Amino acid sequence: AFSSANQLGARQGAGAVYLHAHHPDILRFLDTKRENADEKIRIKTLSLGVVIPDITFKLAKENADMALFSPYDVERIYGKAFGDVAISELYDELVADDRIRKKTINARDFFQTLAEIQFESGYPYIMYEDTVNRANPIAGRINMSNLCSEILQVNSASTYDENLDYADVGKDISCNLGSLNIAHTMDSPDFGRTVETAIRGLTAVSDMSHIRSVPSIEAGNAASHAIGLGQMNLHGYLAREGIAYGSPEGLDFTNLYFYTITWHALHTSMML
């Protein structure tokens, strides 16, 4: 479906699917991106992402097995979707519950497989579930991301009736993204005004976007008005200024630059 869609013929459609590390299909999911995968299972036109909680790293550090839980059983017992369950908090409880079907794999073997497939294909993207949700100030749980994993936003699933009409329109993620060229931004006579203009422009895109053909995205955009202001050409700016990439001076510049961008972005957003 994604490969059949495009932006007026100018840009190919694309999509990403995220699966939790403790889902029982996780290894088969990853295998679809192997270079030597059977053509029957190989996925060429879809991007993959994996949601990894802190407990997975703890188990790998201990060279222990990790449990993969039946999403159906988890939802049946806890009354909410598997992706909305805090696995790190409830892991021991889930393992001990005989009502939940589960199987185990070695945690280090899982990360080894993950690294191999990333080396082969560049996928999957990784979302660190607990880190993301600790930093989330919005009510609700973040359980997935987007292409390139730069969007981390609370979402809710839609429900449908027997005619496949919307019974309840959820809130999906709308990516309103833009970037500043770091070299050009540093050359600007008014750094703050440059950031302000970018934030106002992205906000205008969000305000004027009405994707009625996908009501859940329209609802998410209307509720959150989320925008993302990225930065590019860091290496170009550092090279121009004779600063080694990764050097103490380069790290200091990067930290101060992004602190300053963040301050002006938040200030402009508050003024709007």
Point out the catalytic residue in the list 89, 150, 241, 249: 150
**148 annotated active-site:** yes
CA distance 9 to 28: 33
DSSP string, 160-213: E-TTS-EEE--B-----EEEEEHHHHHH-S-HHHHHHHHHHHHHHHHHH---TT
**255 annotated active-site:** no
Look at residue 72 and give its three-state secondary structure: helix
Residue 113 corresponds to which tokens in the numbers above? 């497989």
Point out the catalytic residue in the list 143, 146, 155, 176: 146
246: left (phi over 0), alpha (psi -120 to 50) or beta: left
CA distance 244 to 26: 40
Helix (H) or strand (E) holding 16: strand 16-20
**35 annotated active-site:** no
Q: What are φ and ψ of residue 130, in 5° steps?
A: -75, -40
Point out the catalytic residue in the list 133, 148, 175, 233: 148
Enzyme catalytic residues: 146, 148, 150
